[in-house]
Structure 1
């Protein structure tokens, strides 16, 4: 991601609040960080030191992706627990709320989706296996101690979402997409609903765990970012989602195949080695892999609908229908369900 080069502060009032909280009165302009999708994301530089600022858009409620302090809570509570994270340096609950964190060095490349980014396939493989171990470390964080840390921050842990709750959440998103854009989704949702796995012990769940949200310096991870939908839930939700990004064939027209990426089974082995326990994550693996594909199809369909109704103009979303169909078809394959033609 790169920042803009506007000579003036993107938001003068916010910039003044940030400079005062960070005690950097002579810092450069507050500039928009392109590529941020949650709230408003800015960069502030003071000499060689950089800061990333996330703020609630003026006039918006601090909910969902705009609840930036929800993100700050995760970063602060999980600091020094074995997962590389940017350090939270300041937070302000006054409207519009914001928080500032370190500017982490490195690049975030999603091998199968960032088609314009050159990445060596062996490096991509190494990063993916490293990320699987990172996820195992994250899921091993004890919730008891975490609750105490979160309480000290003046917040509380989210309610636990079990597999049934996750399925209900993303089913609503899928149902908001016109039928013609999601062929086979009725059969898929029925199959998922008919055999919802029992929940295992809950963990912190990132919600969008993939290489595109992990900064790396070579083979070394420097920061796991984009915590806007983190919560507590079944760790297999993160594993199933991460596995979607191992196969470029699931993204026809928008992605690419990358030779040598780990299989979902390989990621699972690395994950369990790092976590130090199974945690029940071997159970119902196919269901969670199918669910991850359904979730991706629902998100892409939702994004296409928002583009078409003018809520967020981005013509690239017009290329998504083949990928939506591919995700649904592969999920049906995993569940051994035949779609009605």
Structure 2
């Protein structure tokens, strides 16, 4: 948690760096932007121009989800590419580190999970357009080669998260994890991946994606990890008690077709679709556990058990179907 003094000092540093860009309209004070899941996020304006600032919390190091400098690097690497991202305008590596990027006006709405009044046809068009952005992302070089996660590594990561959840909150999880582990597919050449690619992390204007945001967990990995996660959000029935029906949203098959753009379907995709459901169940179980232990009070988390159970069950169904086809 930042104190008023710490925020004021950060604001002074940001304004000093941006002053040359606005000699006649000095930047104003930082305003906290809610909803961030890593580091600290602020907005500020200079005349008619707005910026977003992401900073490492005071007293912490730029590592993991707080590594805002790493986020700035990938945004700069993607500038001018077919993947739309906000433009980075300033980076300060001195502690606590921060960077400033342009404010992109747009809507970040997850159609099947968020409360909204968007036209269903618009939601469909945006989702299909985003499939093309994901395809472009997986074909883009970042100029940086971080450690990559193969299917086995990704499974190990989410298995550990799942097993930290009390067993009563994850019915059938042990059998699912065992089945996933017994059928890990061969990896493919790693590509640039976002890590949480979906409409809720994309600012859209009209029918088109204007900026892909929230790059905290980008990396190099198997592109099927991103793809399967993206496919998960097209059907509200994947989220009992949470999802809302949006008529006309593309099916998983339609979304996959848009992503492939005439290329053959990648092998073992059902395994990755099952892994995506396992990941979602593990994340939700982790959040529910934190709520019940009093670490992050949020009564809304009590709506999660039916979806956790459904994710585990349908993941098992996908693996069973794959086994029958083999």
In which range does the TM-score fall when normalised by the shorter chain?
over 0.9
* SS state at 1:336 partner: helix
* SS state at 1:101 partner: strand
8 Å contact 1:290–1:334 — kept in the other structure? yes
Counterpart of 1:12?
Answer: 8
CA distance in 1, matches of 2:309, 2:61: 34
TM-score, normalised via structure 1 length: 0.88
Counterpart of 2:317?
Answer: 333
8 Å contact 2:30–2:43 — kept in the other structure? yes
Residues 153-194 of structure 1: per-residue CA shift (max 9 Å, x gap): xxxx21111111111111111111110001111111111111
Q: 5+ unaligned residues in a row in structure 2: which ranges?
A: 322-326
Residues 233-279 of structure 1: per-residue CA shift (max 9 Å, x gap): 00000000001101111111122122221122211221122xx755x
Counterpart of 2:324?
Answer: none
TM-score, normalised via structure 2 length: 0.92
1:309 aligns with 2:305: no
CA distance in 2, matches of 1:204, 1:218: 27
Counterpart of 1:84?
Answer: 84
Residues 126-145 of structure 1: per-residue CA shift (max 9 Å, x gap): 1110000000011111x4xx
CA distance in 1, matches of 2:299, 2:43: 27
Alpha carbons of 1:318 and 1:63: their partners in 2 closer, same or farther (altered >3 Å)? farther
CA distance in 1, matches of 2:283, 2:64: 15
8 Å contact 2:231–2:256 — kept in the other structure? no
8 Å contact 2:45–2:51 — kept in the other structure? yes
Q: Which runs of 4+ in 1 moved over 3 A?
A: none
Aligned residues: 314
Q: 5+ unaligned residues in a row in structure 1: which ranges?
A: 1-7, 151-156
Q: Residues 224-235 of structure 1 correspond to what in structure 2 (within 5 A)? A: 224-235=212-223
CA distance in 1, matches of 2:239, 2:293: 23
Residues 200-246 of structure 1: per-residue CA shift (max 9 Å, x gap): 11100100000000101110211000000000000000000001101
1:22 to 18, 25, 35: 18
Alpha carbons of 1:9 and 1:223: their partners in 2 closer, same or farther (altered >3 Å)? farther
* RMSD after superposition: 1.7
CA distance in 2, matches of 1:17, 1:248: 45
8 Å contact 1:9–1:31 — kept in the other structure? no
1:139 aligns with 2:153: no
How far residue 70 of structure 1 moved from its aligned partner, in angstroms, is: 1.5
How far residue 312 of structure 1 moved from its aligned partner, in angstroms, is: 2.4
How far residue 81 of structure 1 moved from its aligned partner, in angstroms, is: 1.4
Counterpart of 1:262?
Answer: 250
How far residue 10 of structure 1 moved from its aligned partner, in angstroms, is: 8.1
CA distance in 1, matches of 2:297, 2:16: 35
Counterpart of 2:96?
Answer: 96
